[in-house]
A and B are shown apart, each in its own frame.
Chain A
Amino acid sequence: MRVRIALTVNDEAREALAPVHKTLLEVLREDLGLTGTKHGCELGECGTCTVLVDGEPVLSCLVLPVEVEGRRITTVEGMAEGGRLHPLQQAFAELGAAQCGYCTPGILLTATALLAEHPSPTRREVKEALAGNLCRCTGYTKILDAVELAALRMGNRESRA
């Protein structure tokens, strides 16, 4: 049975007509054209499909759209503001933290949630926050470095402001 789904994605009101059992991951990718969100298992195991719901990291393959109607959904496409990259995106590009890039959107969003809560996390805290996001290319090293660099830059920017 198809139902009308109304979602707020990246501060835009979006609508789709989709079977009620279709996951948020599928609706984002297939009905809303937001293919920046990837899938690695579709069973909630790899973290690749992570999006933010009201700022909290959520595995979009385990969520039904009806559960998140009226809540604020952020995908990787919503991270840059007005053409300016989020400091995490900038740091990931500069430091080579994205190799194949497939796990990158999910990791960026998980890290966004971490830095919102802990603006200057220790390396251990970054590791713990990202423990649910698998990456097969990088050995995580450059990812951890990039999160730390972004945190540093964001901290500097705030302290200047």
Chain B
Amino acid sequence: MSKNDFAVIGQPLPKIDAWAKVVGETKYADDLFLPRMAYGRLLRSAHAHARIRSIDTTRARALPGVYAVVTGADLPRVKFGILPVSQDEEALCNDKVRMVGDPIAAVAAVDEETAERACRLIDVDYEPLPALMSIFDSLAHPEVRIHDYGDGPNVHKNVALQFGNVEGAFERADLVREDVFFFEGNNHLPMEQHAAVAQWGADGKVTLWSSTQTPHYVHRLLAKTLDVPAAHVRVVATPVGGGFGGKTDPFAHEIVACQLSKLTGRPVKIALTREEVFYTHRGRHPVLMWIKTGFTKQGDITGCHLRTWLDGGAYGSYGVASTFYTGVINPVTYKIPVYKFEGARIFTNKPPCGPKRGHGTPQPRFALECQLDKAAEQLGLDPAAMRRRIVAEPFTKTANHLTVTTIGLGECIDKVVEASGWRDKRARFGVTAKRPRPASPRKRGVGMACSAYLTGAGTAIYWNDMPHSGVIARADRSGGVAVLCGATDIGQGSDSVLAYVTAEVLGIDPKDVHVHPADTSLTPVDLGSYSSRVTLMCGMAAIQAAERLRAAIFTAVAKKLEVSPASLVARDRKVGVPDDWDKAVPFARAVELGEALHGVLAFPGSYAPPKRAGKFKGGGVGPSPCYSYSACVVELSVDEQTGQVDLEDVWIAHDVGRALNPLLVEGQVEGSVYMGIGEALMEEQVFRKNLHKHPSMLDYKSPTTLETPEIHTILVETDDPEGPFGAKEAGQGPLLPVIPAIANAIHHALGIRIDEVPITPDKVLKALEDKRLGRPGRVGPQKLPLLTFKEPLVVESAFGQPADAIVTRPFSS
């Protein structure tokens, strides 16, 4: 279908919630004020690792204005966690704290100030234990155990997978490179701090309004942790003021707010401070990486072997998935015939890491793309042309058994090369430039990198055969259509996408569609706003629901007009035969006819991804209905005297399958580029004396308008057969290439390699100084952890096999 065949799809429409947002009407969780509401605060651990000998709440309870004080003893003794395999968190710690910031007790009081004061009156007797603050510490001290589960002392997860004979592939190569990289952890830094309001009713049912990206998982875990039937728990996700993965776990404050409400008979709000958000974390894992790749003279990859060590922090969170994600996505981008991956996640006494935009994939992407740049230099190849040559084949399988459908990466590379003036600038700038270099200390460079990302995880967090996303479309006699869906709008525009696809199918205006999202009592389950799954999965479910509704309406209108239903179309708020449009029935009238014939017009739509998980242990992480692709060129200048990097322009081309709304897709791409810049140049979640070094928005540096360059976005459309109207993801993938493109551009400008992020001025100066002294101008990790990886699971490479046919998806008929 060409763009012109659509009425709504492809139009740069405002988001349906834009109007409420620009007038300040949108109610985020902390904007809810209920009558008689109490305010809760959590007492958090001051120690990174300690046994709790006793907790005395007597003084806190005696403070006027305090309604209730709770400790772990007041809650069911049950552990929880987002992944079924990592149930290792307690809402309030009972015996032990594993990081500064671990919640120990909570207070509900007349106001926040009283609650805070009461928290300070709680006496905790700690027996401090040695704090393990790095991967090296944790592995060096197996006698100190942070958890008593996992794949070894302080090893949460240890995985090894091998697809084909990598050693043989290295023997065939003309060039084999081994490189080591480090990617520092960082925080999501959503503008909205987490907040939740709980109301435990006199009927024994509890409602939680929360700024969460995953109301369904919160629903399940509230039932478990509060020991209340799931049928009596309602979770409403309020509009989320920025998520980026930071609000995808169930959190202590959500569970505790419910318990405090139960005890006080009042609604209870708990809103985290910015400092608490930094300690709650679940952000980007710090990852050490070793990558060995074989290349032919022409730049083809003969095989790749990647090792990753993840600093997981104190709890499991999504860590098992994160560990796999550091290994499984790289092969989706380029032809890598054989592949081996070993990864381990280590527990440390720091806030737990989890999913942040790109979940586990920006780190190995940084490693691979910087290594490709080094290989291209050694082989005398243009880095763009080399990448263009090795782009993976569409509709094939990767070495690690992932099925890839459409690939627009070649076109993406061509477009950014063209738009950025790549060839000219590669020749004109940089240390190898033929012309005399400018005398100014500012040196210019351009760098490139590419990436791929999944459009929704192919498997749910808990194994089941149910839909990943569900929609109910209900037509109203007014001509309006209500769409109920569990999806959570975190600013990406999922509510709007539901309205657009429904309006497109039914031939009505998006304004006629009333979207009711994310309420576990009303809306069919959607698994949540993570893994770039929402547009595809909710979109497909909404299309199915709307098509069923349309079919019911068509049979009724066909009867009335005495034509066949197949001859009807719905457009411009009418239903009729195109050749006899004068007789077309207004949509509202068509609904009445439909309701008279069928009764209430409410239809479900369900979506589950095609079942394509590799038939080996670990094959469940990585499969996705389809993958997005991006190519990025960065132009920057670096000051040789100060080490300061200034970005000038970023060109990024993104294969989005089809832009359902180009305005929103551009917004996702621009936001991803911006966030990548922050990670590349300044953002870092680091610790000193067991404490977060800078848990504030002033000291945790993030880019302002002044550090953000002009971003030139180019959308590439490949019309993927798996996506709604051909769409693929846009919200995460475009972050990935930005970081290595910056590192590669710095190398082009100065001839130095900064093999770790963030690339701060001190590292640039250090590399320049080393280069001046005749040493390799490189800053990066010098040592790797001593850890024995598992014996790898050896599976035959599936590289180059044709993709499975676009199979019938579950629930598709």
Contacts and interface: CB of A to CB of B under 8 A. Distances in A.
Interface of A: 19, 29-30, 33-43, 45-46, 48, 75-77, 79-80, 85, 89-90, 92-96, 98-105, 108, 126-128, 130-144
A100 B324 CA distance: 30
A93 B191 contact: no
> Which 4 residue pairs spanning A and B have beta carbons closest together?
A36-B24, A100-B491, A101-B21, A139-B674
Interface stretch (B436-444, B570-578, B608-616, B696-704): B696-704
A104 B23 CA distance: 9
B634 interface: no
Nearest to B710: A141
B242 interface: yes
A95 B697 contact: no
A104 B192 contact: no
A102 B24 contact: no
B21 A135 contact: no
Interface stretch (B25-33, B198-206, B785-793): B25-33
Interface stretch (B11-19, B45-53, B90-98, B162-170): B11-19
A105 B24 contact: yes
A98 B20 CA distance: 10
A138 B704 contact: no
Interface in B188-211: 188-193
Contact of B28 (A42, A93, A102): A102
Contacts of A136: 188-191, 242, 244, 671, 675, 702
B648 to A, nearest CB: 14
Contacts of A140: 670, 674, 705, 708
A45 B113 CA distance: 21
Interface string B105-149: 000000001000000000000000000000000000000000000
Nearest to A21: B113
B696 A45 contact: yes
Most chain B CB within 10 A, of A75, A104, A141, A143, is at A141
Nearest to A105: B24
Please classify the interface of chain A as helix (H, G, I), strand (E, B), loop, or mixed, using the class held by over half of its residues: loop
B23 A80 contact: yes
Contacts of B698: 41, 43, 45
B807 interface: no
Interface residues of B, number: 57
Given A38-B28, A140-B674, A96 B667 contact: yes
7 contacts: A29-B31, A40-B193, A46-B191, A77-B24, A96-B14, A101-B17, A136-B188
Interface of B: 12, 14-15, 17-28, 30-31, 33, 113, 188-193, 239-244, 273-274, 490-493, 663-664, 666-667, 670-675, 696-698, 702, 704-706, 708, 710-711
Contacts of B705: 126-128, 130-131, 133, 140, 143-144
A30 B33 contact: yes
Nearest to A100: B491
A142 B191 contact: no
A39 B102 CA distance: 24
B619 to A, nearest CB: 34
B506 to A, nearest CB: 24
A12 to B, nearest CB: 15
A96 B668 CA distance: 10
A139 B663 CA distance: 13
Nearest to A144: B705
Contacts of B26: 101
A101 B491 contact: yes
A128 B191 contact: no
Nearest to B667: A96
Nearest to B25: A36
A102 B273 contact: no
Given A37-B24, A131-B704, A139-B673, 11 more contacts: A36-B24, A38-B241, A75-B24, A77-B24, A93-B22, A98-B18, A100-B242, A132-B704, A139-B670, A139-B672, A141-B670
A134 B670 contact: no
Nearest to A37: B24
Contacts of A92: 18, 22
Contacts of A132: 704
Contacts of A96: 12, 14-15, 18, 663-664, 666-667
Nearest to B12: A96
A36 B670 contact: no
Contacts of A139: 670-675, 708, 711
A79 B24 CA distance: 10
Contacts of A38: 28, 191-192, 241
A76 B674 contact: no
A137 B671 contact: yes
A95 B663 contact: yes
Contacts of A98: 15, 18, 21-22
Nearest to A80: B23
Given A89-B23, A102-B241, A134 B702 contact: yes
Contacts of A134: 191, 697, 702, 704
Nearest to B493: A99
B22 A108 contact: yes
Nearest to B662: A96
Nearest to B31: A35
Contact of B674 (A43, A75, A131, A138): A138
Contacts of A137: 191, 242, 491, 667, 671
